[in-house]
Structure 1
């Protein structure tokens, strides 16, 4: 398993179809859930653009941002 299959925030499997496929994919949960830029910017620079957040972190973080 490579680091692209792990959430950079919690380390759990991110369930991203792109991460586990050597070929481009047509659909994945992460294509349908917007992630606010500020959440990406909160990750360490070396982890940005390397892997998706997991659905749990993306949902929890997205909810926290909306209610602030």
Structure 2
């Protein structure tokens, strides 16, 4: 659980799909690299989000950018994840 929110259950096929999708490596809020471990071909446990509290406002803003009912396909970057108000611990 990162930032107090449940994380997706990354299966091997999900991780492979993210790893090959260039858009998945970009933050949906600012367009910069999100440094997501999964998109870099690493284990999810190695991702910055597993060790850094994420501001709920950042998650809400990213969710608002997705089509209704769509699953997240891009992770936010650490700068955006911690810049939107107080991060949840």
Give 1:37 deviation, angstroms: 4.3
1:54 aligns with 2:54: no
- Give 5+ residue unaligned stretches, structure 1: none
- Give 5+ residue unaligned stretches, structure 2: 1-20
1:6 aligns with 2:26: yes
TM-score (norm 2): 0.54
Aligned counterparts of 1:36 and 1:56: Cα–Cα separation in 2:
10
TM-score (norm 1): 0.67
How well do the aligned residues superpose, as a CA RMSD in angstroms? 2.5
